[in-house]
Amino acid sequence: MPPPACLCPLAACQPLPRARAPRLAAAVILVAHDAKFDVPVLRHVLASPAGYIGMLGSRQRGW
């Protein structure tokens, strides 16, 4: 598990501040289980230089 300073609880990321933009060495893993939270955060991190982006998907939702 990463040190607590590396974790960004969703409540702390709304709205997504520029200061929290992931760096190239960052690994971003989305596990909110709710598209209304995942999609805005995913858009943000896809535009970032994060080196790894992972997301919990759902066969039921098709993503």
Q: Are 26 and 51 in contact (CB under 8 A)?
A: yes
Return all residues near 53 (Cβ < 8 A) that are at least 6 apart: 27, 28, 29, 30, 42, 45, 46
Please report the pLDDT score of residue 18 as a whole number: 55
Q: Which two tokens stand for residue 47?
A: 């535009």
Query: Taking a C-beta distance cutoff of 8 angstroms, is the pair 10, 32 a contact?
Result: yes
pLDDT digits (tens, 9 = 90+) for 3-61: 555 666 655 555 555 555 666 777 888 877 777 877 888 888 888 888 888 887 777 76
pTM over 0.95: no
Half-sphere exposure of 59 (CA within 13 A, CB side): 0
CB 24 within 8 A of CB 49: yes
